[in-house]
Chain A
Amino acid sequence: MIPENSAVSARNVTVAYGSRVIQSDLTFTIRKGDIFIIMGGSGCGKSSLLRVLMGLTPPAKGSVFYGNTDFWGAPEKKREEIMRRTGVMFQSGALWTSRTLAENVALPLEYYTDLSPRDIRALASFKLSLVGLAGFEDFYPSEISGGMKKRAGLARALALDPEVVYFDEPSAGLDPVSAARLDELILQLRDTLGMTVVVVTHELASIFAIASNSVFLDAKTKTMTASGDPHELLRHGPDEVVEFLTRGKGRDRGENQ
């Protein structure tokens, strides 16, 4: 039922907000090393699905598997252990505002390892330089720009060398150059660290630049209408997916209508 190389898989997952069902019957597999895009229009439940996958809210129905382990059926200890092996970059960064950037990256390390403060500091500096924030160790989140907050959030997500990293709208609020650079960074991290990457986005430029696999959530039918490589979906996918993938495509190049 669960393929051998699966990192995360959803089986008949229903996402609900209170009693309002947002998405139902979602079944897909995220393979190890995939850059997996969860796409769809605004308000179709992408971010809510992400919260279910990363273990923040339980699904209304169905199950999420990490490898062969049923995440929501596992005991709390096991769940925490799995969450330790995942990293999350939140939409607004969600940095701990009372700590400096270095302390933000250091916190999970302090919590889970017995490294000396010196080593932890060195690790934190290294992760910050990975995302281009060398020299910003002692800045507070309120002192840096939105784009830098996102990158710092990514550095923190990488703190424990996670196997799976989740990105919630990574390019939202970034200028096109920064967004493209973030995409490159994601690709590099996947290639060098062998991570599995799950991205929620509706930015077509990002989708075509990085995706190796995807799922399309439809707001009207409240379920997934397609899954697979977006480049393939563009040629063989159902109409509404092709429309989604082509409608804005001209826009990106300034060829709207």
Chain B
Amino acid sequence: MQPAFDIHLEQETLIVRASGPWSRQALSSAPLVPDAMTKQAFDALPNAKAVRFLADDVTDWDSVLLAAFNAVAQKARAAGIPADTSALPGGMGPMLDMALAVPPRDGGGKKEEPGFLETVGAKTLAWPGITKNVVDFVGEVSISLARFFSGRASCSPRDMWNVLRECGVDALPIVTLTSLLLGLILAFVSSMQLKLFGAEIYVASLVGVSMVRVMGPVLTGIVLSGRTGASFAAVIGSMQVNEEVDALTGFGISPTDFLVLPRVLGLAVMTPLLTLYADVAGIAGGFLVGVIMLDISPAAYINNTIQFMTLGYVWTGLLHALVFGFIISLCGCYQGMRCGRNASAVGRATTAAVVNSIVGIIVATSVITIILTVLDL
């Protein structure tokens, strides 16, 4: 048996009659039947003054049948035509009435996908708002910092310690590994070229200067944005989801003072320190390559490194690190504080925090380099 239907007009009443088995199982062998029924009914609707549903010969039914009837009835209602469900057997009629009890919301139904131009326009129009939010946030943090240094904002010492530990000591292993390897790589690659001139000894100064001046801070910054920036966004974001941030505000405690300030201060202190450590580890990596592979004597290697190192390079590196510290903590905290109130928003906030801070680090590096070059430092 196949599901079947019959639609005809009887004295201006549209009779929609279903027969046979109308269940998901029966329809799997005749999937086009419901569509055909609604379509035929829609075509006949304009000539009708009422709709009447019949299902006396239906042997087996489930929601599939009701869904098809419902589609016809909703369409009829939209055209102001009453639907009569009283002749339906069993629970069908009451169930259909239940579905029809509340009219659909105005403008409801499927949301239309915005077109390409509309998307571009919406994204462009969002820019001033985003810019204002970022400026607001940076302003709030600046005020909070000013309050802190004038002794009027308290941030919990406990949170401060947690941040210092989390982005300081806890980050040491990964910073050691990455900078040591970076030092190795730099030494290898530069030695290949310098060998051509018999100037392998300059591997030492090349590794030393590039690590201290820019590679050390950039590497530390990238490790910290993946490690710490992401965790800032995730922690503050889930506090936002859980109303924990509201609970702070409810006590008149400023979330900026309480959550953002310790993180910004913590990273501003720890990034330069970690950078110094990364510099040393990187130079150690270069040293290994120089001494073991290039047969430079340890004393000569160290001597060459010191000879070309100036305090200016160290300061430049630390300046980079300080700026990166602010970029990472601000991106992480901003994304966390602006996080929406659902689980996927936390994921988006975390991703955005990492992406923004890495882009920020690269941009800041070039800006600082250009400025220092122009200033001839």
Q: Do A and B belong to a common assembly?
A: yes
Residues of A bordering B, CB below 8 Å: 51, 54-56, 79-84, 86-88, 90-92, 94-97, 107-108, 110-111, 156, 159-160
Note all chain A residues with C-beta closer than 8 A to B244.
94-97
Note all chain B residues with C-beta closer than 8 A to A86.
250
Q: Are A94 and B246 in contact (CB under 8 A)?
A: yes
Q: How far is the CB of A96 from chain B (nearest CB, A)?
A: 5
Q: Are A90 and B252 in contact (CB under 8 A)?
A: no
Q: Are A160 and B250 in contact (CB under 8 A)?
A: no
Q: Are A94 and B154 in contact (CB under 8 A)?
A: no
Determine the distance from Cα of A156 to Cα of B281 in the docked complex, in whole angstroms: 48
Determine the distance from Cα of A202 to Cα of B360 in the docked complex, in whole angstroms: 49
**Chain A residue at minimum C-beta to C-beta distance from B247:** A94
Q: Are A111 and B251 in contact (CB under 8 A)?
A: yes
**Top 5 A-B residue pairs of the complex, sorted by shortest distance between their CB atoms:** A80-B252, A83-B252, A94-B243, A88-B250, A84-B252
Q: Are A97 and B252 in contact (CB under 8 A)?
A: no
**Chain B residue at minimum C-beta to C-beta distance from A79:** B252
Q: Give 1 or 0 for each of B242-256: 1 = CB within 8 Å of chain A CB.
A: 111011011111100
B156: interface (CB < 8 Å): yes
Q: Are B253 and A90 in contact (CB under 8 A)?
A: no
Q: How far is the CB of B57 from chain A (nearest CB, A)?
A: 34
Cross-interface CB contact of A81 among B156, B242, B252, cutoff 8 Å: B252
Q: How far is the CB of B102 from chain A (nearest CB, A)?
A: 13
Interface range for B: 10 to 19
Determine the distance from Cα of A55 to Cα of B244 in the docked complex, in whole angstroms: 15
Residues of B bordering A, CB below 8 Å: 154, 156, 239, 242-244, 246-247, 249-254
Determine the distance from Cα of A249 to Cα of B249 in the docked complex, in whole angstroms: 37
Determine the distance from Cα of A95 to Cα of B248 in the docked complex, in whole angstroms: 10
Q: Are A83 and B249 in contact (CB under 8 A)?
A: yes
Q: How far is the CB of A170 from chain B (nearest CB, A)?
A: 15
Q: Are A92 and B242 in contact (CB under 8 A)?
A: yes
Q: How far is the CB of A194 from chain B (nearest CB, A)?
A: 20
Q: Are B246 and A56 in contact (CB under 8 A)?
A: yes
Note all chain B residues with C-beta closer than 8 A to A54.
250
Determine the distance from Cα of A34 to Cα of B242 in the docked complex, in whole angstroms: 29
With A110-B156, A111-B154 given, is the CB distance from A90 to B251 under 8 Å?
A: no
With A110-B156, A111-B154 given, is the CB distance from A56 to B250 under 8 Å?
A: yes
Note all chain B residues with C-beta closer than 8 A to A87.
250
Most buried by A among B244, B249, B252: B252
Q: How far is the CB of A171 from chain B (nearest CB, A)?
A: 18
Most buried by A among B246, B247, B254: B247
Note all chain A residues with C-beta closer than 8 A to B247.
88, 90, 94-96, 156
Determine the distance from Cα of A32 to Cα of B252 in the docked complex, in whole angstroms: 21
Determine the distance from Cα of A159 to Cα of B246 in the docked complex, in whole angstroms: 16
Q: How far is the CB of A89 from chain B (nearest CB, A)?
A: 10
Note all chain A residues with C-beta closer than 8 A to B242.
92, 94, 97
Determine the distance from Cα of A162 to Cα of B254 in the docked complex, in whole angstroms: 18
Q: How far is the CB of A105 from chain B (nearest CB, A)?
A: 11
Q: Are B249 and A111 in contact (CB under 8 A)?
A: no
Note all chain B residues with C-beta closer than 8 A to A90.
243, 246-247
Q: Are B243 and A83 in contact (CB under 8 A)?
A: no
Q: Are A111 and B250 in contact (CB under 8 A)?
A: no
